Amino acid sequence: MYQRSLFIAASALALSFSVPALAHHGWGGNVDQVSDMTGTVVKGVSLAGPHATMRINAEGHDWDITLAPPYRTQESGLKEGTIPVGATVTVRGNRNRDAKRFEMKTVQVRWADKRFDVYPERE
Amino acid sequence: MTWLEGSTLGHLMRESGVWTYAVVNLAHILGIALLFGAVFVLDLRLLGVWRRVPLEDLARPTVVIAGSGFALAAMTGPALLATKATDYIGNPFLPIKLVAIALGILNIAVIHRLPAWKARANPDLGLSQRRQLAIAGGASLACWLTAISAGRLIAYW
Protein backbone atom coordinates (compact mmCIF):
# COMPACT_ATOMS: atom_id res chain seq x y z
CA MET A 1 0.00 0.00 0.00
CA TYR A 2 2.74 2.36 1.04
CA GLN A 3 4.82 1.45 -2.00
CA ARG A 4 1.90 1.96 -4.30
CA SER A 5 1.21 5.46 -2.92
CA LEU A 6 4.88 6.30 -3.32
CA PHE A 7 4.80 5.10 -6.92
CA ILE A 8 1.74 7.23 -7.71
CA ALA A 9 3.31 10.27 -6.06
CA ALA A 10 6.56 9.77 -7.99
CA SER A 11 4.71 9.35 -11.29
CA ALA A 12 2.68 12.49 -10.68
CA LEU A 13 5.84 14.41 -9.92
CA ALA A 14 7.59 13.11 -13.06
CA LEU A 15 4.54 13.99 -15.15
CA SER A 16 4.41 17.51 -13.78
CA PHE A 17 7.98 18.10 -14.92
CA SER A 18 7.36 16.72 -18.38
CA VAL A 19 4.54 19.17 -19.07
CA PRO A 20 6.28 21.96 -20.97
CA ALA A 21 6.15 25.49 -19.66
CA LEU A 22 2.43 26.00 -20.04
CA ALA A 23 2.65 28.07 -16.95
CA HIS A 24 1.77 31.61 -16.18
CA HIS A 25 0.79 34.18 -18.74
CA GLY A 26 1.39 31.82 -21.64
CA TRP A 27 2.01 33.06 -25.14
CA GLY A 28 -0.90 31.03 -26.44
CA GLY A 29 -3.07 34.14 -26.69
CA ASN A 30 -0.60 35.76 -29.06
CA VAL A 31 0.12 35.13 -32.71
CA ASP A 32 3.06 32.90 -33.56
CA GLN A 33 4.91 35.24 -35.86
CA VAL A 34 7.13 37.99 -34.54
CA SER A 35 6.68 41.48 -35.95
CA ASP A 36 8.10 44.95 -35.46
CA MET A 37 6.16 48.03 -34.44
CA THR A 38 7.42 51.59 -34.12
CA GLY A 39 5.75 54.15 -31.89
CA THR A 40 6.21 56.71 -29.16
CA VAL A 41 6.37 55.92 -25.47
CA VAL A 42 3.17 56.98 -23.69
CA LYS A 43 3.99 55.39 -20.36
CA GLY A 44 7.53 54.45 -19.45
CA VAL A 45 8.78 51.06 -18.34
CA SER A 46 7.34 49.77 -15.06
CA LEU A 47 9.24 46.99 -13.32
CA ALA A 48 6.24 46.01 -11.20
CA GLY A 49 5.30 42.33 -11.29
CA PRO A 50 4.28 39.92 -12.59
CA HIS A 51 5.61 41.33 -15.87
CA ALA A 52 7.37 44.58 -16.65
CA THR A 53 5.25 46.74 -18.92
CA MET A 54 5.26 49.93 -20.95
CA ARG A 55 2.76 51.62 -23.22
CA ILE A 56 3.44 53.01 -26.66
CA ASN A 57 1.32 54.74 -29.26
CA ALA A 58 1.72 53.02 -32.61
CA GLU A 59 -0.41 52.46 -35.69
CA GLY A 60 -3.09 54.75 -34.25
CA HIS A 61 -3.56 52.92 -30.95
CA ASP A 62 -2.10 52.72 -27.47
CA TRP A 63 -0.42 49.35 -27.14
CA ASP A 64 0.31 47.55 -23.92
CA ILE A 65 3.83 46.26 -24.25
CA THR A 66 4.31 43.22 -22.06
CA LEU A 67 7.97 42.67 -21.27
CA ALA A 68 9.75 39.90 -19.39
CA PRO A 69 9.36 39.51 -15.59
CA PRO A 70 10.90 42.47 -13.70
CA TYR A 71 14.31 40.97 -12.88
CA ARG A 72 14.87 39.70 -16.39
CA THR A 73 13.84 42.98 -17.96
CA GLN A 74 16.19 44.89 -15.69
CA GLU A 75 19.05 42.50 -16.52
CA SER A 76 18.61 43.25 -20.22
CA GLY A 77 19.50 46.84 -19.34
CA LEU A 78 15.95 48.14 -19.56
CA LYS A 79 15.09 49.88 -16.31
CA GLU A 80 12.46 52.34 -15.19
CA GLY A 81 13.40 55.70 -16.63
CA THR A 82 15.90 54.30 -19.15
CA ILE A 83 13.70 55.35 -22.04
CA PRO A 84 11.99 58.75 -21.62
CA VAL A 85 8.29 59.25 -22.29
CA GLY A 86 7.84 60.57 -25.83
CA ALA A 87 10.83 58.69 -27.21
CA THR A 88 10.44 56.75 -30.44
CA VAL A 89 10.98 53.05 -29.93
CA THR A 90 10.69 49.95 -32.05
CA VAL A 91 9.39 46.86 -30.32
CA ARG A 92 9.56 43.36 -31.70
CA GLY A 93 7.27 40.66 -30.44
CA ASN A 94 4.08 38.65 -30.76
CA ARG A 95 0.83 40.59 -31.04
CA ASN A 96 -2.35 39.52 -29.28
CA ARG A 97 -4.48 37.15 -31.35
CA ASP A 98 -7.50 39.30 -30.55
CA ALA A 99 -7.32 42.22 -33.00
CA LYS A 100 -9.23 44.38 -30.52
CA ARG A 101 -6.65 43.90 -27.79
CA PHE A 102 -3.70 46.12 -28.48
CA GLU A 103 -1.14 44.11 -26.60
CA MET A 104 2.19 42.65 -27.60
CA LYS A 105 4.36 40.15 -25.80
CA THR A 106 7.68 41.70 -26.50
CA VAL A 107 11.03 40.04 -27.01
CA GLN A 108 13.08 43.10 -27.92
CA VAL A 109 12.94 46.88 -27.54
CA ARG A 110 15.11 49.18 -29.67
CA TRP A 111 15.63 52.82 -28.83
CA ALA A 112 18.15 55.20 -30.42
CA ASP A 113 21.22 52.98 -30.85
CA LYS A 114 20.34 50.72 -27.93
CA ARG A 115 18.81 47.29 -27.99
CA PHE A 116 17.22 45.50 -25.05
CA ASP A 117 16.69 41.78 -25.54
CA VAL A 118 14.29 40.88 -22.75
CA TYR A 119 13.59 37.45 -24.22
CA PRO A 120 16.70 36.74 -26.32
CA GLU A 121 15.81 33.05 -26.77
CA ARG A 122 12.43 33.86 -28.34
CA GLU A 123 13.85 35.75 -31.29
CA MET B 1 -9.45 49.58 -8.62
CA THR B 2 -7.94 52.94 -9.51
CA TRP B 3 -7.98 53.81 -5.83
CA LEU B 4 -6.35 50.49 -4.91
CA GLU B 5 -3.63 50.90 -7.50
CA GLY B 6 -2.87 54.41 -6.23
CA SER B 7 -2.87 53.32 -2.59
CA THR B 8 0.24 53.11 -0.43
CA LEU B 9 0.09 49.35 -0.81
CA GLY B 10 0.17 49.66 -4.60
CA HIS B 11 3.12 52.05 -4.47
CA LEU B 12 5.00 49.78 -2.07
CA MET B 13 4.45 46.78 -4.34
CA ARG B 14 5.69 48.63 -7.41
CA GLU B 15 8.59 50.48 -5.88
CA SER B 16 10.29 48.01 -3.53
CA GLY B 17 12.50 46.16 -5.96
CA VAL B 18 12.15 43.68 -8.78
CA TRP B 19 11.64 40.65 -6.51
CA THR B 20 8.81 42.13 -4.42
CA TYR B 21 5.96 40.72 -6.48
CA ALA B 22 7.62 37.31 -6.69
CA VAL B 23 8.14 37.07 -2.91
CA VAL B 24 4.60 38.24 -2.08
CA ASN B 25 3.27 35.85 -4.71
CA LEU B 26 5.21 33.03 -3.06
CA ALA B 27 3.69 33.86 0.32
CA HIS B 28 0.23 33.90 -1.27
CA ILE B 29 0.75 30.45 -2.74
CA LEU B 30 2.11 29.09 0.55
CA GLY B 31 -1.03 30.42 2.21
CA ILE B 32 -3.22 28.70 -0.37
CA ALA B 33 -1.28 25.45 0.04
CA LEU B 34 -1.76 25.50 3.80
CA LEU B 35 -5.42 26.45 3.52
CA PHE B 36 -6.38 23.97 0.85
CA GLY B 37 -4.23 21.11 2.13
CA ALA B 38 -5.83 21.29 5.55
CA VAL B 39 -9.34 21.99 4.25
CA PHE B 40 -9.12 19.05 1.83
CA VAL B 41 -8.31 16.58 4.60
CA LEU B 42 -11.02 17.90 6.90
CA ASP B 43 -13.64 18.06 4.13
CA LEU B 44 -12.97 14.48 3.07
CA ARG B 45 -13.42 13.42 6.69
CA LEU B 46 -16.70 15.36 6.85
CA LEU B 47 -17.75 13.59 3.65
CA GLY B 48 -17.20 10.27 5.37
CA VAL B 49 -13.67 9.23 4.42
CA TRP B 50 -11.44 7.87 7.26
CA ARG B 51 -14.43 7.53 9.54
CA ARG B 52 -12.34 5.75 12.16
CA VAL B 53 -10.23 8.87 12.69
CA PRO B 54 -12.00 10.89 15.40
CA LEU B 55 -13.33 14.11 13.87
CA GLU B 56 -12.32 16.14 16.88
CA ASP B 57 -8.70 14.94 16.61
CA LEU B 58 -8.57 15.86 12.93
CA ALA B 59 -10.40 19.15 13.32
CA ARG B 60 -7.98 20.57 15.85
CA PRO B 61 -4.83 20.72 13.64
CA THR B 62 -6.57 21.22 10.30
CA VAL B 63 -8.68 24.19 11.42
CA VAL B 64 -5.60 25.95 12.83
CA ILE B 65 -3.52 25.30 9.71
CA ALA B 66 -6.34 26.31 7.37
CA GLY B 67 -6.92 29.48 9.37
CA SER B 68 -3.23 30.41 9.27
CA GLY B 69 -3.06 29.70 5.55
CA PHE B 70 -6.13 31.81 4.93
CA ALA B 71 -4.65 34.69 6.93
CA LEU B 72 -1.42 34.54 4.91
CA ALA B 73 -3.29 34.41 1.60
CA ALA B 74 -5.71 37.17 2.62
CA MET B 75 -2.89 39.48 3.65
CA THR B 76 -0.89 39.01 0.45
CA GLY B 77 -3.76 38.84 -2.06
CA PRO B 78 -4.73 42.52 -1.91
CA ALA B 79 -1.05 43.47 -2.31
CA LEU B 80 -0.78 41.43 -5.53
CA LEU B 81 -3.99 43.00 -6.78
CA ALA B 82 -2.89 46.53 -5.87
CA THR B 83 0.28 46.21 -8.00
CA LYS B 84 -1.65 46.73 -11.24
CA ALA B 85 -5.23 46.81 -10.00
CA THR B 86 -6.63 48.50 -13.11
CA ASP B 87 -5.35 45.61 -15.24
CA TYR B 88 -7.99 43.41 -13.63
CA ILE B 89 -10.98 45.55 -14.57
CA GLY B 90 -13.25 43.35 -16.65
CA ASN B 91 -11.49 40.13 -15.68
CA PRO B 92 -14.40 37.76 -14.96
CA PHE B 93 -12.34 35.39 -12.84
CA LEU B 94 -11.62 37.93 -10.11
CA PRO B 95 -15.27 38.41 -9.05
CA ILE B 96 -15.85 34.64 -9.30
CA LYS B 97 -12.90 34.09 -6.97
CA LEU B 98 -14.06 36.73 -4.48
CA VAL B 99 -17.62 35.37 -4.39
CA ALA B 100 -16.30 31.82 -3.89
CA ILE B 101 -14.14 33.01 -0.98
CA ALA B 102 -17.11 34.84 0.57
CA LEU B 103 -19.24 31.70 0.24
CA GLY B 104 -16.42 29.62 1.74
CA ILE B 105 -16.30 31.90 4.77
CA LEU B 106 -20.08 31.88 5.05
CA ASN B 107 -19.96 28.09 4.96
CA ILE B 108 -17.47 28.08 7.84
CA ALA B 109 -19.84 30.27 9.86
CA VAL B 110 -22.68 27.88 9.10
CA ILE B 111 -20.63 24.80 10.04
CA HIS B 112 -19.72 26.31 13.37
CA ARG B 113 -23.40 26.76 14.15
CA LEU B 114 -24.36 23.20 13.23
CA PRO B 115 -25.34 21.05 16.22
CA ALA B 116 -23.50 18.21 14.50
CA TRP B 117 -20.26 20.23 14.49
CA LYS B 118 -20.69 21.17 18.13
CA ALA B 119 -21.11 17.47 18.89
CA ARG B 120 -18.02 16.47 16.85
CA ALA B 121 -16.29 14.97 19.90
CA ASN B 122 -19.08 12.39 20.03
CA PRO B 123 -17.89 9.31 18.10
CA ASP B 124 -21.43 8.12 17.39
CA LEU B 125 -23.14 10.87 15.45
CA GLY B 126 -26.53 9.99 14.01
CA LEU B 127 -27.18 9.67 10.30
CA SER B 128 -28.77 13.09 9.96
CA GLN B 129 -25.88 14.75 11.76
CA ARG B 130 -23.34 12.96 9.57
CA ARG B 131 -25.32 14.09 6.56
CA GLN B 132 -25.26 17.72 7.74
CA LEU B 133 -21.49 17.55 8.11
CA ALA B 134 -21.10 15.88 4.72
CA ILE B 135 -23.10 18.62 3.00
CA ALA B 136 -21.04 21.29 4.72
CA GLY B 137 -17.80 19.49 3.76
CA GLY B 138 -18.91 19.18 0.16
CA ALA B 139 -19.88 22.84 0.02
CA SER B 140 -16.51 23.77 1.48
CA LEU B 141 -14.63 21.76 -1.16
CA ALA B 142 -16.70 23.34 -3.92
CA CYS B 143 -16.05 26.87 -2.63
CA TRP B 144 -12.30 26.53 -2.21
CA LEU B 145 -11.79 24.61 -5.45
CA THR B 146 -13.70 27.34 -7.29
CA ALA B 147 -11.70 30.07 -5.55
CA ILE B 148 -8.37 28.44 -6.46
CA SER B 149 -9.38 27.66 -10.04
CA ALA B 150 -10.75 31.14 -10.70
CA GLY B 151 -7.73 32.66 -8.98
CA ARG B 152 -5.32 30.80 -11.23
CA LEU B 153 -7.32 31.65 -14.33
CA ILE B 154 -7.08 35.39 -13.59
CA ALA B 155 -3.59 35.28 -15.11
CA TYR B 156 -4.86 33.76 -18.36
CA TRP B 157 -7.61 36.23 -19.21
Is-contact A94 A31, C-beta < 8 A?
yes
**Is the complex ipTM more than 0.90?**
no
Chain A residues in contact with B90 by the CB 8 A cut-off are none
Between chains, do A48 and B14 touch, taking CB under 8 Å as contact? Answer: yes
Distance CA B76, CA B21 (A): 10
pTM: 0.83
Give how far Cα A65 sits from Cα of A51, B20, B105, Å: 10, 21, 38
Domain ranges of chain B: 2-156
pLDDT value of position A6: 62
β-bridge mates for residue A55, sequence order: A43, A64
Closest CA to B23 of B107, B79, B101: B79
User: Is any Cβ of chain B less than 8 angstroms from the Cβ of A53?
Assistant: yes
Cα A9–chain centre separation: 34
Distance CA A88, CA A70 (A): 22
Chain A residues in contact with B16 by the CB 8 A cut-off are none
Q: What is the pLDDT of residues A17-69, one digit of tens each?
A: 544 433 345 677 888 899 999 999 999 999 998 999 999 999 999 999 999 99
Distance CA B157, CA B154 (A): 6
Distance CA B136, CA B125 (A): 15
The DSSP-derived string for chain B is -HHHHHSHHHHHHHHS-TTHHHHHHHHHHHHHHHHHHHHHHHHHHHTTTTTTS-HHHHHHHHHHHHHHHHHHHHHHHHHHHHHTGGGGTT-THHHHHHHHHHHHHHHHHHHHH-HHHHTTT-S---HHHHHHHHHHHHHHHHHHHHHHHHHHHGGG-
Distance CA A59, CA A104 (A): 13
User: In chain B, whose CA is at the least distance from the CA of A79?
Assistant: B18
User: Is any Cβ of chain B less than 8 angstroms from the Cβ of A48?
Assistant: yes
Q: Collect all residues with Cβ–Cβ distance below 8 Å to B39 and sequence separation of at least 6.
A: B62, B66, B140, B141, B144
User: In chain A, whose CA is at the least distance from the CA of B10?
Assistant: A48
Chain B residues in contact with A30 by the CB 8 A cut-off are none
pLDDT above 90: residue A76 = yes
Chain B residues in contact with A67 by the CB 8 A cut-off are none
How confident is residue B110, by pLDDT bands cut at 50, 70 and 90?
very high
Nearest CB partner across the interface for A48, out of B84, B155, B156: B84
pLDDT value of position A10: 64
Chain B residues in contact with A70 by the CB 8 A cut-off are 18-19, 21-22
Mean pLDDT of B100-113: 97
pLDDT above 70: residue A79 = yes
Between chains, do A47 and B18 touch, taking CB under 8 Å as contact? Answer: yes
Q: Which domains does chain A have, with CATH numbers?
A: 31-122 (2.40.50.1010)
Between chains, do B21 and A50 touch, taking CB under 8 Å as contact? Answer: yes
User: Is any Cβ of chain B less than 8 angstroms from the Cβ of A7?
Assistant: no
Lowest mean pLDDT among A18-22, A63-67, A92-96, B5-9: A18-22
Chain B residues in contact with A25 by the CB 8 A cut-off are 155-156
Between chains, do B83 and A48 touch, taking CB under 8 Å as contact? Answer: yes
Between chains, do A50 and B25 touch, taking CB under 8 Å as contact? Answer: yes
For residues B9, B14, B17 and B21, what is the CA-based torsion angle, rounded to 10 degrees?
80
- B100-103 long-range contacts, CB within 8 A, separation 24+: B100/B143, B100/B144, B100/B146, B100/B147, B100/B150, B101/B143, B101/B147, B103/B139, B103/B143
Q: What is the pLDDT of residues B35-74, one digit of tens each?
A: 999 999 999 999 999 999 999 999 999 999 999 999 999 9
Is-contact A96 A29, C-beta < 8 A?
yes
To the nearest whole angstrom, how far is the Cα of B15 from the nearest Cα of chain A?
7
- Hey, how many other C-beta atoms are within 10 angstroms of the C-beta on B3? 9
Q: What are phi and psi of B102, to 5 degrees?
A: -60, -45
User: Is any Cβ of chain B less than 8 angstroms from the Cβ of A25?
Assistant: yes
Is-contact A37 A59, C-beta < 8 A?
yes
